[in-house]
A and B are shown apart, each in its own frame.
Chain A
Amino acid sequence: MPNSASSRDVDALMRETGADVGAPSPDAVDAALDRVLAEAALLEQGTRARPSGTRHRRLTLGGAMLAGTIAAAFAVINLLPSSGASAGIGRAWAKDVAARSAAVAAGDRHGTLHIDVLVTQTAAGTAPVRYRVESWSELQAPHAYWETTVSGSDVTTTTVRRNQIESYDSRTNTLSVAAKKIGAGSSGPTLFDPAYHAALTVLYPRDAVRPGSANHLPPTLSRLIAQLLRSPGVTVDRHSRIDGRPAIRITALRGRAVLYVEPKTYRPIVFVTHGDSGAARSITISMRFGAYETLPRGSVAPPDLRQLHPDAKR
């Protein structure tokens, strides 16, 4: 082919191939503007809510120190393995996605929230600790709660019904029964769920030693996640991936809490919390949800531990 095409021909060809992508409709422009302004407002709130560097350092340092205290407290009831963890996190955007994800995380008020989660705790210089927690929380009265924690060969089952706590530990074949004080306004199993307490330790080290004592701390893992998603400065990445599949990645607390949710259902897939204690050690708690669903009211009931373990020591 002769080389006779001129610069003008090149430009004409280029224009013919790509100039027209269609003008956006006025509605599309309005919607895009609303979205930008909403996200800009969220970003500004996040900036204002950001703690000072000194305060942040103090909090994270405190986190590392208090992690041990928390672990020790939970060792008493054989629920919490005794370690923390380390890794990295990310970022992104979209207010409505965060709101929908928060609603799914909080669960339907008229059902029983069923969560099956595999928790991995890692801390610099220590071997990872893994355990599994399967829990059921009635989100309406009488707010019964029960959970099974599996750590190695040790299985602990705890039920909380009408202020009565029963806990069976397979390692010692012991059934403990106690009365639980539930404060006004606190309907949740504040003292249970090691996954929740592990996340709390990393995110709010100062308050984690007295779970439920600080008004701003939600009493359960599901409500903690929902609160994080509704907090200022949340960013959403709708085109992320986790475990090789598409996911929405939602980041809160400037990257210290990251939740991956399914794009269509907003169901939590993975929740990662990270505390960086600088010169001390960083801790990462990674939770993979095998189940995160609201079951119909009355479809499940807490197990009767006395009947299940008649030979248990008391």
Chain B
Amino acid sequence: MTVATMTAPATASHIKPTQLVSGTFVTTDLKRARRMCEELLGLECVEAEPGTLLIREQGHQPGGPLAGKPYWVLEAREVPTIETPQEMLNHWGVFVTSQAAVDDAFEKINAQQKDFGLGRVQKPRFRHGSYAFYFVDGDSNWWEIEYRTPDLLYTALREKGDQH
């Protein structure tokens, strides 16, 4: 990843953040959510405290290929009920390295839909230059498995600036 890792605080805004550091979602079954994140999505998980799971991509551990680089954390909190069910436009995205990897992920996830307690698993399709599919987990959280060519990576689009 060539993009600058940490940005300087904004100077003119009312709030001057240094990092968009995490996003949060809820689950009614933290063990189920952890198994999905680890065994299905291949993410690193740690239970920070009872009822709270922290999730990040693999490789940031000491000695890992991404050690010392910034990462984004998803915080999953266990709740008795899902008060605000999520829909497809409220999803979490996971990049894979090729179009074939998207197809491979779709085949495997679709085959193990029941085992992981998933809802709908949509077929991969091209959209706005990305190739991706969506699925919904047992808590109504939507996930996208996505591949983008290098010129359409989010970091590349930042450098291009506004197109509209």
| Physical interaction between A and B | no
